A and B are shown apart, each in its own frame.
Chain A
Amino acid sequence: MRIVVAEARVPFVRDGAELHVQSLVTELRRRGHDAETVTLPFNGRKDELLDQACAWRMLNLSTSNARPIDAVIATRFPTWFARHPRKIVWLIHQHRAAYELFGTPYSDFTDSEPDTHLRRQIAALDSRMFGECERIVTNSRNTAKRIEQFNGVSARPLYHPPPLAGRLREGAYGDYILIVARLEPLKRIDLVIRAMAHVSSPVRLVVVGDGSQRMELEREAAALDLVHRVTFTGSLWGEPVADLYAGALGVVYAPFDEDYGYVTLESFLAGKPMITTTDAGGPLEFVRDGVNGFVCEPASASLAAAIDRLDTDRKLAERLGGAGRELAQTITWNGVIEQLLG
């Protein structure tokens, strides 16, 4: 089949959604489909959201160069506004600021009348678009729960392995804890850095990623006198990231209500335990406290205690990581494309 995978992306920013789309296209091609991405620039500004939805609506993707396109796979807001008789959604997320993030510090929507109106409008339009779709699946249970709650759509989660899966391997349980994330408020890197101030063991923190909070976070680390214990590597992709996973003692990931989160599975595939928080969303679908990692209160002292436990008991780190690996290895691409296309 000729399939378009529809994507919306902020120029100059790379994130998990982009990797999801790329691996989907690769897997479709591997199964003999002719797949291509259609990517429109996205801008999260409130006053531009409806215009962008409208831009997608302008696109009739039924044909290209006089030949039919058989299906369109939409991924995140506002890709499902495109016109096509056979739309499938593999939900990464809706416009989160207008949905579950509303009322948290991570949303720019207030309870003013225009904002409330806009939020309702977006949810109503999304629901209408979902109604046009032939099939809707989600990337995680967490996102399935959201689409049920806000749009009344019941959808099954369809897990897929992280794009780094093929490169990840186990290695020594070294002297650092790893964090891999875009440096954005929602990822709560600041919480982890503050936790480091409470950690009594000599373990270090390595932060992989870049983003709008980079300077602020580096300043915070300096203010807490952690310059020698917290390293910022900037953006890294592929092999160097796999190397860092292989040598880590454990991985910490404490975002607020993450959709799915490749980091959990990446950590497990490298045989590393995962430290996360009770409000982290997606990671909680995989992390079991004391089984393959730790699920902590979202507080620096509680994260620090988990980090210290791993450092003082390396056998424990190894055992938790091993359990995680077994779980992560059950998630493969087998059957995923078939279930997606129906």
Chain B
Amino acid sequence: MTPLHILILEAQVPFVHGGAEILVRELASALETRGHHAQVVSVPFIDAPKDEIFAGAEAWRLLDVTCAGSRAIDVVIATKFPTYFARHPRKVLWLVHQHRAAYELAGTRFSDFSHTPRDVALRRRLIATDTGVLRECVGHFTIARTVSDRMLKYNGIASEALYNPPKLAGRLHGGAYGDYVLTVTRLEHVKRVDLAIDAFQKTTSALRLLIAGDGSIRHDLAEYIERRGLSDRVMLLGRVDDDRLVELYAGCRAVLFAPYEEDYGYVTLEAFLSRKPVITARDSGGTLEFVSDGVNGYVCDPTPPALAAAVDRLGADAALAASLGERGHGVAADITWDNVVERLTEAASATHSGRAAL
């Protein structure tokens, strides 16, 4: 294998730290471990006001990422909108997501794009521009099938889903099936933490809900819990460190994660690696690629009573939780970085040697 100089392109949201940021750093270290030279290159992504999103795309288009000083860059790996606007003859796409507010979220309460002529035109223009730029890539991969389906539907481009293990993979372990259900998420509307909270108003078992994570609606959620008189059963833990998180996973009865149309979601895999079942909703997107109803968790209607019923079943039967969680573990253990690195670099080298042959 020839070591390659690879840049991983990242859209940074200053002061926000989420899954995509971990993903690109993990990819960089996975590439380095396998002998390549990899670095993350970021440009901040600002999505308000809406017109600024084109400015962000333009910034990527203007930057030259074909070389660094006198050194040629062999491959760039684009991840999120608008990183794929970068220019490079060997641009490989590992898509995290497009600008979701203009895609599948448009028309939902999670998007700032409404049905005005102006917004509709803006969305159309964005999707058309994306399609052109995405076609420039020499390899098309995504982080999950949900994302592949979306790119096929909106941009007409086929791709392969390449799963990667969560960051904590090496450290997660099983433990007691304790008296609480765990949710791990950024506190944002699209994660539908309010739905999980509402479910706990309907549960009859003694299980509590612990919510790890922070975000822009933390304060609202705290009030929401208070108003519903759930303060003794639902707890916001805020951001927790990795050590604590591993133990929270190890000690829970089950993990509840019911976001709207999640792209991928490490939480599912983290739960499984901790041998815990996952309760999710049938419109939760990425979680559904791993969770099979009644096999390693429950796939419910996105309603409080449906989620509550699943919680109560596991609340009444810890042995059931253990057997579902065990089957989840088998699913998650097969997902490795070796495969991701191999497929991404193969795609780049295929064109590389193709060019050399010319």
Contact = CB atoms under 8 A, between A and B. Distances in A.
B357 interface: no
Interface stretch (B38-46, B196-204, B234-242, B316-324): B38-46
A12 B71 contact: yes
Contacts of A56: 59
Interface in A160-186: none
A331 interface: no
Interface string A67-83: 10100000000000000
A59 B68 contact: no
Interface in B50-93: 52, 55-56, 58-60, 62-65, 67-71, 73
Nearest to A6: B44
Contacts of B37: 12
Contacts of B14: 4, 36, 38, 61, 64-65, 69
Given A4-B14, A36-B14, A64-B46, A12 B62 contact: no
A59 B64 contact: no
B349 interface: no
A118 to B, nearest CB: 16
Interface stretch (A40-48, A194-202, A220-228): A40-48
B62 A55 contact: yes
Nearest to B43: A40
A186 B207 CA distance: 67
B55 A65 contact: no
B220 to A, nearest CB: 14
Interface in A1-23: 2, 4, 10-13
B120 interface: no
A60 B15 contact: no
A43 B62 contact: no
A13 B37 CA distance: 12
Contact of A61 (B46, B67, B69, B216): B46
Contact of A59 (B7, B13, B55): B55
A65 B71 contact: no
Interface in A122-152: none
B216 A60 contact: no
Contacts of A52: 62-64
B63 A36 contact: no
A341 interface: no
A43 B68 contact: yes
A278 B55 CA distance: 46
Interface residues of A, number: 32
A4 B14 CA distance: 8
B39 A59 contact: no
B356 interface: no
Contacts of B73: 11
A6 to B, nearest CB: 9
Contacts of A48: 64
B15 A59 contact: no
B23 to A, nearest CB: 18
A39 interface: yes
Q: Which of A2, A41, A59 has the most CB of B within 10 A?
A: A41
B68 A41 contact: yes
Contacts of A63: 46, 48
A63 B52 CA distance: 11
B80 to A, nearest CB: 14
B321 to A, nearest CB: 36
A38 B15 CA distance: 10
Given A51-B63, A59-B43, A60-B55, A12 B15 contact: no
Given A40-B63, A59-B55, A64 B44 contact: yes
B12 interface: yes
A65 B190 CA distance: 14
A45 B66 CA distance: 11
A36 B44 CA distance: 11
B282 interface: no
Nearest to A53: B62
Contacts of B67: 43, 45
Contacts of A279: none
A40 B14 CA distance: 13
B42 A38 contact: yes
Contacts of A38: 12, 14, 42, 44
A2 B44 CA distance: 15
Nearest to A62: B46
A12 B39 contact: yes
Contacts of A13: 68-69
B4 to A, nearest CB: 12
B5 interface: yes
A299 interface: no
Nearest to B215: A65
B358 interface: no
B29 to A, nearest CB: 15
A243 B278 CA distance: 52
B64 A45 contact: yes
A289 interface: no
A54 interface: yes
Given A40-B59, A45-B64, A69-B15, 12 more contacts: A4-B14, A12-B69, A41-B7, A41-B65, A43-B64, A48-B64, A55-B63, A61-B46, A64-B13, A65-B13, A66-B216, A212-B69
20 contacts: A11-B7, A11-B41, A11-B68, A13-B68, A36-B15, A38-B44, A39-B42, A41-B63, A41-B65, A43-B64, A43-B69, A58-B55, A58-B59, A59-B43, A59-B44, A64-B46, A65-B13, A65-B14, A65-B15, A212-B69
Nearest 5 CB-CB pairings of A with B:
A58-B59, A55-B62, A11-B68, A64-B14, A55-B59
Interface of B: 5, 7, 12-16, 37, 39, 41-44, 46, 48, 52, 55-56, 58-60, 62-65, 67-71, 73, 216
